[in-house]
């Protein structure tokens, strides 16, 4: 008997090598049974086993052929997609996707902007390559920077400015937002925030802190005013500091919860802006006694 432990291994049908080995083992077993049929005589049980194994061999061979065809089709499809992508990159003028076949990238990096030196030309003739030189504007900037850093005094180049440019620059300087601090001589420019940037920074600030949002002195005055209106006494009452802080924490928690519910209502209405109707609806739903 042939050992068929290979067929009982998990996921053997997903490996082409194991499938081929299994087919060889089954064909070997079929050959042994056919030889036994010839040598010892015909038996129906052995004939049924031969028939079943031959059917399994046909099924295994068919699955292997289908897997090979699927593999070659996928490889051909990937090759077609790659060729289409390269053709699209060529049509769009993507130089980096051309594998430098047209030498455009090399000619761009080796472009000579003029104002060459004799030493560079000698190096090019000796080494056989062309060194990169920046454009004339950048060379002029580099020269001016090196002159400013050097200790030797250099004459600064004077650039004539037309009257129109001078008037435009003067008007731009006058319209710049500038504010003066009281009692100080320095001038500070107001920072210009992008839309929503200030709100996001404040949200991050308040999320990272556990401090109270309302100032203590105005809240204390408000509490005293409410007590005076409720009791009718102008004076004669005092509130401890811990009681005042507890009142403030409870009030801020209530306000935050109310605004959270109102924002959910505005989001349900497919709006971003919080409106008075949202707060009124929240009060009708959750705060019936207030």
The predicted-structure confidence for 128-151, as pLDDT tens digits, reads as follows 555 555 555 656 666 666 655 554
d(CA 135, CA 138): 5
Per-residue pLDDT at 80: 86
Token match 């707060």: residue? 279
Hey, is 178 helix, strand or coil? strand
Q: Is the pTM of this model over 0.75?
A: no
**What size, in residues, is the chain?**
290
Q: Going along the chain, which residue ranges are E strands? A: 178-180, 187-189
Positions of the chain with pLDDT under 70: 1-14, 89-189, 289-290
The predicted-structure confidence for 94-109, as pLDDT tens digits, reads as follows 444 445 544 444 444 4
| CA 140 vs CA 45, 120, 159, 239: distances in Å | 98, 18, 14, 74
Per-residue pLDDT at 27: 82
Per-residue pLDDT at 246: 95
For the chain, the structural domain boundaries read: 12-92, 208-286
Per-residue pLDDT at 72: 85
- 135 close to 114: Cβ distance less than 8 angstroms: no
- CB environment 79-108: b (16+ within 10 A), e (fewer): eeeeeeeeeeeeeeeeeeeeeeeeeeeeee
CATH H superfamily, domain 208-286: Histone, subunit A (1.10.20.10)
What is the radius of gyration, based on Cα positions, of the chain? 44
Hey, is 160 helix, strand or coil? coil
- Helices in the chain by DSSP H: which ranges? 16-40, 44-92, 104-109, 118-127, 136-149, 163-175, 197-207, 216-231, 241-268, 276-286
Per-residue pLDDT at 260: 93
Give the residue from 275, 282, 228, 223 showing the smallest Cα distance to 249.
223
């Amino acid at each position: 008997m042939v050992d068929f432990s290979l067929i009982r291994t998990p996921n053997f049908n997903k490996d082409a090598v194991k499938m081929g080995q299994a087919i060889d083992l089954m064909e070997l077993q079929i050959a042994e049974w056919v030889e036994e049929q010839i040598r010892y005589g015909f038996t129906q049980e052995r004939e049924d086993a031969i028939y079943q194994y031959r059917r399994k061999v046909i099924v295994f061979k068919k699955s292997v052929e289908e897997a090979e065809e699927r593999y070659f089709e996928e490889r051909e499809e990937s090759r077609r997609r790659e060729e289409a992508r390269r053709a699209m990159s060529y049509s769009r003028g993507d130089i980096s996707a051309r594998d430098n076949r047209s030498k455009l990238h090399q000619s761009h990096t080796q472009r000579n902007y003029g104002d060459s030196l004799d030493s560079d030309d000698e190096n090019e003739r000796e080494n056989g390559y062309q060194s990169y030189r920046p454009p004339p504007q950048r060379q002029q900037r580099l020269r001016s920077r090196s002159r400013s850093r050097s200790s030797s005094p250099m004459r600064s180049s004077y650039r004539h400015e037309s009257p129109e440019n001078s008037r435009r620059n003067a008007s731009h300087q006058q319209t710049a937002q500038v504010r003066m601090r009281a009692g100080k001589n320095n001038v500070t420019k107001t920072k210009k925030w992008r839309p929503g940037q200030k709100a996001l920074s404040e949200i991050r600030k308040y999320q990272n802190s556990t401090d109270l949002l309302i100032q203590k002195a105005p809240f204390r005055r408000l509490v005293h005013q409410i007590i005076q209106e409720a009791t009718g006494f102008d004076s004669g009452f005092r509130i401890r500091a811990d009681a005042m802080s507890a009142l403030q924490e409870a009030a801020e928690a209530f306000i935050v919860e109310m605004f959270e519910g109102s924002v959910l209502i505005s989001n349900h209405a497919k709006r971003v802006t919080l409106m008075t109707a949202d707060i009124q609806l929240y009060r009708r739903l959750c705060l019936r006694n207030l």
